[in-house]
Structure 1
Amino acid sequence: MDESVSSRKPSKRITMMDVAKAAGCSQATVSVVLNNIMDIKISADLRARVVEAARSLGYGLASPIRRAALEELRDGCIGFIVDQLTTTPEAVNAIEGARQESWNADVTILVAQTQGRAEYERRAVDRLLRAGAQGIIYMSVFTRRVALDSAFNELPVPLVLLNCHTGDPRFPSVVPDEVNGGKLATSTLIEKGHRRIGIITGETFMEASQDRLIGYRKALGKAGIDYDDQLVGEGNWTPTAGYEATQRLLSLADRPTAIFCQNDKMAMGCFTAIRERGLSVPGDISVIGYDDDEIARHLRPQLTTIDLPHRAMGAWAVRHLGRQSGDVLPNTHKMVCGLIERSSVGPFVA
Structure 2
Amino acid sequence: MIDVAARAGVSQATVSLVLNGVTNARVAEATRQRIFEAAEALGYRKGPRHAVPENASPVIGLLLDEVSTTPFAMPFIEGARDEAALQDVLLATFCTRGDPKLENAALDMLVQQKAIGVIYATLVTTQLAQPPERLGELSTVLLNCYEKRTRFPSVVPGDVAGGHAATEALLKAGHRRIAHLTGEQWIEAARSRAQGYRQALTTWDVAVDPDLIVTGGWTVNGGRELTARLLELPNPPTAIFCFNDRMAIGAYDAIKAKGLRVPDDISVVGFDDEDLATYAQPPLSTVLLPHDEMARWAVSALLDRQAGDTSVKKIKMECPLVARGSIAPPPRG
> TM-score per shorter chain, which class?
0.7 to 0.9
Distance 2:69 2:212 in 1: 30
Distance 1:242 1:148 in 2: 33
User: Percent of counterpart pairs with the same letter?
Assistant: 41
Q: Does the Cα contact within 8 Å between 2:50 and 2:87 map onto a contact in 1?
A: no
Q: Which residue of 116, 128, 132 maps to 1:149? A: 132
Q: Report the aligned-residue RMSD.
A: 1.5
Gap runs ≥5 in structure 2:
1-48
Distance 2:108 2:181 in 1: 42
State the AA in 2 paired with 1:73: V
Distance 1:286 1:71 in 2: 47
Q: Does the Cα contact within 8 Å between 1:175 and 1:335 map onto a contact in 2?
A: yes
State the AA in 1 paired with 2:63: I
Q: 1:256 aligns to what SS in structure 2? A: coil
Q: Which residue of 311, 325, 328 maps to 1:346? A: 328
Q: 2:304 aligns to what SS in structure 1? A: coil
Gap runs ≥5 in structure 1:
1-69
Pairwise CA distance, 1:132: 3.5
Aligned to 2:20: none
Tell me the alpha carbon deviations over residues 236-275 of structure 1, each in whole angstroms, 9 at most, x when there is no partner.
Answer: 1100100010011101100000000110011111100000
Distance 1:300 1:92 in 2: 26
Q: Does the Cα contact within 8 Å between 1:169 and 1:328 map onto a contact in 2?
A: no
- How many residues of Structure 1 are paired with residues of Structure 2 in the alignment? 278
Higher Rg:
1
Aligned to 1:329: 312
Pairwise CA distance, 1:204: 0.9
Please give the TM-score of this superposition, normalised by the length of structure 1: 0.77
Aligned to 2:112: 130
For residues 239-254 of structure 1, the aligned pairs below 5 Å read 239-254=220-235
Q: 2:98 aligns to what SS in structure 1? A: coil
Aligned to 2:62: 80
Q: Does the Cα contact within 8 Å between 1:170 and 1:328 map onto a contact in 2?
A: no
Tell me the alpha carbon deviations over residues 101-135 of structure 1, each in whole angstroms, 9 at most, x when there is no partner.
Answer: 11121111100001111111111111222234211
Pairwise CA distance, 1:346: 0.9
Distance 2:204 2:95 in 1: 44
Distance 1:73 1:345 in 2: 48
Q: Does the Cα contact within 8 Å between 1:102 and 1:108 map onto a contact in 2?
A: yes
For residues 1-350 of structure 1, the aligned pairs below 5 Å read 71-73=50-52, 76-146=58-128, 147-153=130-136, 155=137, 157-324=138-305, 325=308, 327-330=310-313, 332-350=314-332
